[in-house]
Amino acid sequence: MVIIRRSIASTLALVAGCNVSATAPSSTGGVTASADAGATCDEGEVVLLTDYTSTQIALTAPDGTPLSPSFLSTATTKTSGVAYALSGDVALPTMRPPSGRVVLLDRYGTNVVTWADPSTAKVLGQLPVGAGFESNPQDYVETDATHALISRWGVNDQPGAKPFDHGSDVLVVDTKALAITASIAMPATDGLPPRPAGMIRIGTSTVVVLQNESEDFKTEGDSVVVGVVNGAVAWKMTVAGLKGCNRPAISPSGKQMALSCEGQLDANGNVEKLAESAVALYDVTSLPPKLVKQFAISDQLTNPAQDRVSFASETLLVGKTQTSLGGTSNNQAFALDTTTGKATVLLTAHLDATGKGKGIVYGDFVCSPGCSDFCILADSDVGKLQRWSVKSSGLEPLTAIDVDPQVGLPPVAVGAY
């Protein structure tokens, strides 16, 4: 599966070198909500730590300080009575769920969504979203107090045996009953499965990114962005000339959207055509989005941006490069000034023991402009959270943090609750 190669295989090489404990600790419990937290602001961050066999979820303050280093883990969920313990392939939603719950997407091989209460560390419920096939859920967006959308990347070759089993679609879920209520078909392009991936909420629309990749993973079309309104696709926009786009980001003002497109990848994570890779900036004051400008990134950093960037401020994006496993270049974290187009390297990974690049060792950036002045990056290269303070002059590095040195699982992603 290509989606597995992108999220897991490029980091497997570093895991063997990590000092990982074989036994996860018992849960460190929930966290107390801050009294001044606004409804639209993060309470803190959700950190995903994994060696792709065992998984641990930590909760931190907005600046990355650990509050509950082992909020949930594979070990604690196995013994808690839930139906599905956390696997080694878990993802976090792009957007903070307005409900404030911790939401976990168990992907290929499990196909389950888990909701947990951050104040108690209790699993509130789980929902299988596979319907008899490998649905590979990719993202989760809450649309109101009782409903959410879930994008399913996987394709079902023999649908019709069970309800909601077509795949490559977006599910509508009742978040109180924890039940699937509908499936929204995504538009196909040139006969390719749509492959819905990242999603974000803009006003009353949910923006869904379609990756358009064949079932044998050899053919990939230009990415497409669609808007879902009231349970149906309301508009469609082709990201002309760019492939491998994924999770969109919205600026603090809500007026701009950034979409990072890494291009089509081979089995080792090499970008086949650099011209199909760029960071695209859109005006979203009306929808469909209108292209403002594109930034190649590779013309400054050799490699293009990977398929997600985040806004640190209205004119500053942060992201990481798409770097092949065993290649000649190292993974880099960067900042991009959208006014000047200048990309600045923030951090560069180490070579492996043989002098080659480790592939992707930097996970997601999370910044919360308007709510906090911090940007957090999951760094599997050194097994820490890298941190920056956002200043008017740019990003100021802060001391990296060990989330849970007792277990030593490397952080690979950061979300919000």
Pair 359, 11: CB distance under 8 Å = yes
Q: What domains can be seen in the chain, in order of their start residue?
A: 2-412 (2.130.10.10)
Q: Among 41, 96, 99, 101, which residue's Cα sits nearest to residue 71?
A: 101
Stretch (H or E) spanning 390: strand 384-391
Residue 323 neighbours by CB under 8 Å, 6+ apart:
10, 269, 303, 329, 330, 331, 332, 349, 357, 359, 360
What pLDDT shows up at residue 397?
98
Reported pTM: 0.93
Residue by residue, DSSP assigns 241-263 as T---B-B-EE-TTSSEEEEEE--
Q: Among 295, 290, 301, 264, which residue's Cα sits nearest to residue 280?
A: 295
Pair 352, 341: CB distance under 8 Å = no
Distance CA 333, CA 330 (A): 10
Q: In what order do the strands lie in the sheet with 290-295?
A: 249-250, 256-261, 278-283, 290-295
Instruction: Report pLDDT digits (tens) over 389-414.
Output: 999 999 999 999 999 988 889 999 99
Pair 196, 208: CB distance under 8 Å = yes
Q: Among 241, 271, 273, which residue's Cα sits nearest to residue 259?
A: 241
Q: In what order do the strands lie in the sheet with 45-50?
A: 66-73, 55-60, 45-50, 411-416
Alpha carbon distances (Å) from 309 to 148, 280, 336, 363: 23, 10, 9, 11
> Residue 219 corresponds to which tokens in the numbers above?
């053919």
Instruction: Report pLDDT digits (tens) over 41-76.
Output: 889 999 999 999 999 999 999 999 999 999 999 999
pLDDT along the chain (417 residues), means of 10: 36 38 71 66 95 96 96 92 93 96 95 97 96 96 97 95 96 98 97 97 97 95 98 98 98 97 92 96 98 96 95 98 90 97 97 90 94 96 97 95 92 96
What pLDDT shows up at residue 267?
86
Distance CA 152, CA 163 (A): 15
3-state secondary structure of 287: coil
What pLDDT shows up at residue 8?
39
Residue 31 neighbours by CB under 8 Å, 6+ apart:
43, 44, 59, 67, 68, 71, 118, 119
Q: What are phi and psi of 352, to 5 degrees?
A: -80, -175
